[in-house]
Structure 1
Amino acid sequence: MALPAIAPYRMPSAADLPTNKVSWTPDPQRAVLLIHDMQRYFVDAFTSGASPVTELVANIRQLRQHCISVGIPVVYSAQPGGQTPEQRGLLLDFWGAGINGGPHQKQIIDALTPAEGDIVLTKWRYSAFNRTQLMDILRQSKRNQLIVCGIYAHIGCLQTASEAFMNEVQPFFVADGVADFSWENHQMALNYAARLCAVTTTTQQLIDQLRPQATRGGVPLSRQQVRADVIEMLQQDAALGDDENLLECGLDSIRLMTLVERWRNAGTEVTFVELAERPTLGDWYSMLTSIAQPPPVEVAAALQRGVRPTA
């Protein structure tokens, strides 16, 4: 009933991600980072110095640091040691007594020691929502996205993501920020999450999407970027014509709103209605590249003086 010894396996990469059913975009103003059960008892089951635990720890550290830099709260879950049979409940039948009563096993690993201001929740069951204040934290901070990383992917991480979904919280399941008993268990968790309750993503993809506003604003959109973003949403190839009606190609309102949010973060002021009324790449090139581009110096100066520039 104890934890198994986990043999090394390679950490999944972006190429291993399943196809997501939804296209939610993480938002620093809406998200909370959950570092799930990164305690010595659970981490010690992995082969030290080998994949996937080396990448796991490095990626969580990188993600945590970035989340702090953009103002995303960091929450840890940690199981208590020395639980009584009554506290352990049915977990006793599946996993035995769990973490012992000593100081070592229950500690979060040194590489991820919580900092002042981080929140550490005492966790009693698979889901980090069960008998904790996690939902209260999300609601009180008016946040409805949860970035899930830690161990184990197909047990507590997946149960937490599923419960977030069932409480109208958008989960982001970090494929290379979770680890499991085996490659098969890891992939099963990713496939379930992508099909039923979450967006699967990678550490780098999340960091790219959560870049600080100050470094993203005002950067002009190129035709290539607009096309690439649309193809990503439609999951089609680059043969998409500039004059094709994108709504008829499968660009529904959810995907369209995701694009609006992404391009606003890149410095545009385009609206959902503007894009929906002219739903072709050709029209969007005209709108987005002109909106994002700053006016020439002489035009800007004329506008400041209240003079309408001539053609």
Structure 2
Amino acid sequence: MLPHHIAYTLPTGSELPANRASWDLLTDRSALLVHDMQEHFVAPYAADDQPMPTTRANIAALLRAARAAQVPVFYTAQPGSQTPEQRGLLTPMWGPPLGDDPAAARIVPDLAPVDGDTVLTKWRYDAFERSDLRERLSDIGRDQLIVTGVYAHIGCQATALRAFMLDIEPFFVTDAVADFSREQHLAALDLVADCVGVTMTTADVLSALEHAVRDSGDPGDSATDSALPVDWDALLEVLADTTGTSVDEIGQESDLLSLGLDSLRMMELADRWSVPDREIGFADLAVCDTPVEVAQLIERVHGVRMAGVPQ
């Protein structure tokens, strides 16, 4: 059975292990995995205590950045109903399957898949077992896997181990995984860093994605107009011009990726809206889902108030 009321602080700073490997995370080689973030497996965590609020927020930021950088996103999810043969040794170890309630098997709403993401049926600890994840990664030329989700010392660690044995470089996000306890969390990080992969914080992964996107762009395409939009209407005009849409098509809650604000366009806007000591990076824009959030980012970084921003 799963534990109850899990609560602990995420490891940080000097607690994080040194990596034996020195691989560089690259957007054209990597894929993001959200491992088992289903209601059933998230339920044991204390709702208002760490680590789950930070873990979920970090996974959400990585999802947004990965989609913007055109890094493929994969999910694993156990089916609710499983026959004894399908479940095998998981039953004597953990008890019965999730059950017939669809809510238990649902991926938590704030991390839900979108069109273009791939959801794999999960049967055993590691994401490769009884799935075609290896083949899918090979087909799209990906040999790096960014691992997030639960539980760090079980499925996440097993997936990293299997990836390594398949010559896929695992990148284990230290504050975008969660576990039964702080000790087990740290043990999983130690094993990955020492034997099979690279451990990175969410901030490190976002920075790597930003640098890779910047390096892949054409410097000649970057916008040179550094003027900030002075009000809401001006921001909508910039977004419309950047994405090739009309202002009338953009609402305050419009999804920026759906409008066409891809990674290179984000880099253009980041360059346009940055000045020394007040920089907006790709990672900052990548976690903005809507025009309102972009306006709030500009206001926060530059200490200005934009007229007409919906409240």
TM norm structure 1: 0.68
1:30 and 2:53 correspond: no
1:65 and 2:47 correspond: no
Compute the displacement of 1:15 (Å): 3.1
Q: 2:27–2:212: 8 Å Cα contact kept in structure 1?
A: no
Q: Which residue of 2 aligns with 1:47?
A: 46
Q: Which residue of 1 aligns with 2:138?
A: 139
Q: Which residue of 2 aligns with 1:278?
A: none
Q: Which residue of 2 aligns with 1:155?
A: 154
Q: Please list every run of 5 or more consecutive structure 1 residues that lacks an aligned counterpart in the other structure.
A: 220-311
CA deviation string 1:237-286 (max 9, x = no partner)? xxxxxxxxxxxxxxxxxxxxxxxxxxxxxxxxxxxxxxxxxxxxxxxxxx
Identity %: 44
Q: 1:70–1:212: 8 Å Cα contact kept in structure 2?
A: no
In structure 1, C-alpha distance between the alignment counterparts of 2:13 and 2:25, rounded to whole Å: 17
Q: Please list every run of 5 or more consecutive structure 2 residues that lacks an aligned counterpart in the other structure.
A: 220-311
Q: Which residue of 1 aligns with 2:173?
A: 174
Matches within 5 A, 1:207-218: 207-211=206-210, 213=212, 215-216=214-215
Matches within 5 A, 1:1-311: 2-211=1-210, 213=212, 215-216=214-215
In structure 2, C-alpha distance between the alignment counterparts of 1:9 and 1:94, rounded to whole Å: 24
Q: 2:27–2:213: 8 Å Cα contact kept in structure 1?
A: no
Compute the displacement of 1:16 (Å): 2.2
CA deviation string 1:129-149 (max 9, x = no partner)? 000010011100011000000
In structure 1, C-alpha distance between the alignment counterparts of 2:115 and 2:211, rounded to whole Å: 22
Q: 1:52–1:179: 8 Å Cα contact kept in structure 2?
A: yes
- RMSD value over aligned CA atoms? 1.4
Q: 1:174–1:202: 8 Å Cα contact kept in structure 2?
A: yes
Q: Which residue of 2 aligns with 1:290?
A: none
Q: Per the alignment, in what secondary structure is the counterpart of residue 54 of structure 1?
A: helix
CA deviation string 1:139-188 (max 9, x = no partner)? 00011000000000000000000000000000000000000000000000
Amino acid at match of 1:206: V
Compute the displacement of 1:215 (Å): 3.5
TM norm structure 2: 0.68
In structure 1, C-alpha distance between the alignment counterparts of 2:218 and 2:115, rounded to whole Å: 34
In structure 2, C-alpha distance between the alignment counterparts of 1:49 and 1:68, rounded to whole Å: 28
Q: 2:26–2:212: 8 Å Cα contact kept in structure 1?
A: no
In structure 1, C-alpha distance between the alignment counterparts of 2:134 and 2:127, rounded to whole Å: 9
Look at both structures and tell me which one has the larger radius of gyration over its CA atoms: 1
